[in-house]
Structure 1
Amino acid sequence: MIGFSFYLQDPGAENQIIHAANSGVRRAFTSLHIPEEKGELAVRMSELLKFAQTYGVEVHADVSLKTLDHLGIAEFADLAPLGVKGIRLDDGFDMTTITALSKVFSLSLNASTLNEEELLAVLEGGMEPQSLIAWHNFYPRPETGLEEVFFHEQNRMFKKHGIPIYAFIPGSGSKRGPLHAGLPTLEKHRFMNPYAAAVDLLSHVDAVFVGDQGTEGNLLQDLSNYESLNILSVRMESARLPSGRYKLRPEVSRDVFRLQNTRVTGAVEPENTIRRTLGAITMDNDEYGRYRGEIQICKRDLEANHRVNVIGRVVEEDLPLLAFLKPCHSLVLVNEGRI
């Protein structure tokens, strides 16, 4: 599942909602207890939530014990008529409150801070695992995002009880203030290509939400295609290879990814037979006989070969995506220009 985020003080939130809905993404996260939020929050909250409703967007809101005073509302149940379908509980809620809220909202627990004793207390209080979501934090300050081993340990705890897991990636383009350093769950994703970060997370969690408001370009559409069609989108630069959809061969080669049905019968003269680096896109030339025209993507650095032309390269930001390519995988190579 793919989701996006919008925030009360973001003047472009309406455009963000429209863009996401047009990309086929209709699940959103918002926070209703960010200390930096100021102004007529209750009015703005009502406007945005109703706007999201008109586009069929399901909203999950982060709340704390201070949210009611912060927004000037009487009780959490007042959020339901505004279109809030689920709430994510910060620390401090007692079991009586949690049970009461579960009758109104889909409930998300803090997957980054909850320990197993606390989780068992929730479950023993009568909550059904399938009615809960384990939702990780995002971390605005660099160096504070989760470490991978801890992240996987937490996930194993929730998976053991059959609770789905959600997490965040940073946005593409504009980043949320006040630090503007991305909103990832995992620290290693902070400055990674958000698309690659999402593909990485989707192998471990049930839903990935863009934490920042920035979803410029085709991020949401590309992620929807990956999730629903298992098509990976990889950007490249090449003067020879057009953008298009390709498929990998079924076997796994040690050094290269081999693209199916790319050999040709016409001549492929030797040219640019230089050293090949990780992510280099190559085409076998006439010196390889019946292999002429076969296109490959290098999985590691390789020496020059007079029988292999270098015709392009994967853009540096997309190199992490190569780790997720599998036999028979479909991929879309998007040509971003000549090299």
Structure 2
Amino acid sequence: MTKRTLGVSVYPDHSDLATDKAYLATAAKNGFSRIFMSMLEVSDGKAAVMAKYQDLIRYAKGLGFTTTLDVAPNIFDQLGISYQDLSFFAELGADGIRLDEGFDGRQEALISYNPQQLNIELNMSNDVAYLDNILSYGANQPFIFGCHNFYPQRGTGLPLDFFNDCSERFKAYGIETAAFVTSQVGKIGPWNVNDGLPTLEMHRDLPIDLQAKHLFATDLIDCVIIGNAYASDEELAQLGRLNRYQVVLDVTLCEQIHPVERTILLANQHVRRGDITDLVVRSTDVRKKYQQAANPQNNCSHDFERGDVVIGNDGFGKYKNELQVVLAPHHDDRKNKVATVPATERFLLDYLTPWAKFKFVAIH
């Protein structure tokens, strides 16, 4: 199982070297460790390309980054290099190349044995037996990675079901995977259309931390990469603070929340029971931990909607101080409403599967 990582994208042919370096330095401070570096728009000669990319990649390596170069066949032709000799990319200091366009499977398998031991990153955004074909030709599997596309044009990103199907093909083989989220302020991408650079269309207008929460929650993506440049310092910090291994739900607290309820809600590791119900997500360990703590009925409404968080009050007998996340509307005077998950985040409740670990953080 691969540890989860964060990445940024830079576009040296559309940006300033000093600005790129400053951006990478800030990203490194926030726990980012991967770079997606586009070479799809190279227009300078080989020597100029070597100087510019080598400088930036060496600087990045000093900050602890690994770098994948996004390449296409026309770049090989333009620079006079061959898929049978990847030494040029190794001299730049790259750790891998992403094949923007595929071949016949046999070719990719052969490339994966390159003597420079560069990783070969494959396009994940097709629900076909592309990976199976490559592996059937005896590919060097430890050097095969997967990365989804991003989509600069509004309305062209992947739908969730299709994304899941594509990603599951790679996860079935234990291949490391990556996908893109979009900064809401970044303006730089590979092309002259830039409506954001997410993989999933549903992410295009969402806050960047919610996009990343979702990708990690799918349990299909190992690395979340910001597709456009430059994300704001606050966006980088938000992703740096993100828990990559369990869902942490934002909640707005109810004014009448009791001190014991606040502690139960915010200061505990929650686990969904394995014997699940459609009505609520049940976190039951806390009721045992706080069974002696009084918790009178509060004056909030006891009509609950999906996304409300409730805790059993003194009238709930042995279930007093059990925490529940509401999945379906219902009424129950024995439960106190203590918080609400924002409407924009409620789709994450679908990822609270049996035995899922989850936490809360108060936003107001």
1:182 — aligned with what?
A: 196
Partner Cα separation in structure 2 for residue 165 and residue 323 of structure 1 = 24
2:238 to 214, 218, 239: 218
2:180 — aligned with what?
A: 169
How big is the shift at 1:54? 0.5
Partner Cα separation in structure 1 for residue 240 and residue 9 of structure 2 = 14
1:299 to 321, 327, 330: 327
**Matching of residues 221-260 of structure 1 within 5 Å:** 221-222=241-242, 225-227=243-245, 231-238=246-253, 239=255, 240=257, 241=262, 243-250=266-273, 251-259=275-283, 260=285
The answer on 1:137 being equivalent to 2:137 is: no
How big is the shift at 1:275? 2.1
The answer on 1:196 being equivalent to 2:213 is: yes
1:17 to 24, 38, 44: 24
How big is the shift at 1:144? 1.5
Cα distance, 1:316–1:42 mapped onto 2, change above 3 Å: farther
Partner Cα separation in structure 2 for residue 145 and residue 91 of structure 1 = 18
How big is the shift at 1:290? 4.4
Deviations 1:217-253 (A, max 9, x none): 332442xx433xxx32211111432643331253423
The answer on 1:277 being equivalent to 2:305 is: yes
How big is the shift at 1:276? 1.4
1:146 to 158, 170, 177: 158
Partner Cα separation in structure 2 for residue 196 and residue 212 of structure 1 = 18
Partner Cα separation in structure 2 for residue 114 and residue 312 of structure 1 = 40
Identity of aligned residues (%): 22
Cα distance, 1:117–1:273 mapped onto 2, change above 3 Å: closer
C-alpha contact 1:6 1:17 (8 A) present in aligned 2: no
| Structure 1 unpaired stretches of 5+ | none
Which one is further off, 13-22 or 135-144? 13-22
How much is the aligned-residue C-alpha RMSD, in angstroms?
Answer: 3.6
C-alpha contact 2:36 2:68 (8 A) present in aligned 1: yes
* SS in structure 2 at match of 1:204: coil
**What is the TM-score with the length of structure 2 in the denominator?**
0.73
How big is the shift at 1:121? 6.6
C-alpha contact 1:281 1:296 (8 A) present in aligned 2: yes
How big is the shift at 1:47? 3.1
2:56 to 40, 48, 57: 48
C-alpha contact 1:275 1:302 (8 A) present in aligned 2: yes
Amino acid in structure 1 at the alignment position of 2:36: F
Amino acid in structure 2 at the alignment position of 1:216: L
2:286 — aligned with what?
A: 261
Partner Cα separation in structure 2 for residue 267 and residue 153 of structure 1 = 46
C-alpha contact 2:272 2:357 (8 A) present in aligned 1: no
Partner Cα separation in structure 1 for residue 296 and residue 324 of structure 2 = 15
Deviations 1:115-159 (A, max 9, x none): 5479737853x6333432233211111222234554455456556
Which one is further off, 150-159 or 313-322? 150-159
How big is the shift at 1:44? 4.3
Partner Cα separation in structure 2 for residue 204 and residue 307 of structure 1 = 38
C-alpha contact 1:21 1:55 (8 A) present in aligned 2: yes
